Amino acid sequence: MKKAIYMMFLLLILITGCRQNAADGWIYGQNDKDGARLITSRKEALQKIDIDNDPRMDRTMSDQNPNFVNFSGNRNDIGKDVEMARQVVKQTKEFEPGPIWVNGEDMWVTVYKKGMLSERDQMDAQSRIHKMLLKALPRYDIEVRVREDRT
């Protein structure tokens, strides 16, 4: 008697488990590999899904996976900070930017000035550029070196 009850219970579980997807069977297995486009010829299936208003449709793969490289160009990175430092130095019109190095929170900026500089002029120029760079890039500890360009 116990075996018959167990067999009936097992049979009931199998029947109900296999039947659960029958009502919406068109949803499973008929999408393309990304699940974005419905592949079917049934018009009633297409009318149930509004692809234009689906919020998942405007997400690209780079939005979903953080390991993909961002090619949109709207991200702040070290290259943009170095370019900003170059622009600040070029705006002075009396200095030319040289090598700019970034390591963590530190930025080393070398600038060149035509002609000879006394030690006092070199320190004044260094402090002026340092103030301008700190105003433009406050997140860095900036070291400025002023060199004479004798070419």
Domains of the chain: 2-64 (no CATH), 78-149 (3.30.70.1350)
Number of helices and strands in the chain (H, E): 5, 3
Please report which helix (H) or strand (E) contains residue 44, including its range: helix 43-48
Tell me, what's the pLDDT at 54? 58
* 30 pLDDT above the threshold of 70: no
Tell me, what's the pLDDT at 37? 59
Looking at the chain, the whole-number percentage of residues with pLDDT higher than 90 is 36
The string of pLDDT tens digits covering residues 54-79 is 555 555 555 555 566 666 666 667 88
Tell me, what's the pLDDT at 100? 95
Distance of alpha carbon 143 from alpha carbon 109, whole angstroms: 6
Distance of alpha carbon 5 from alpha carbon 96, whole angstroms: 91
Tell me, what's the pLDDT at 150? 67
Tell me, what's the pLDDT at 60? 56
Residue 106's DSSP bridge partners are: 103, 141
The string of pLDDT tens digits covering residues 88-134 is 999 988 899 999 999 989 999 999 998 888 899 999 999 999 999 99
Nearest Cα neighbor of 37 from 49, 47, 25, 48 is: 49
Looking at the chain, the whole-number percentage of residues with pLDDT higher than 70 is 59
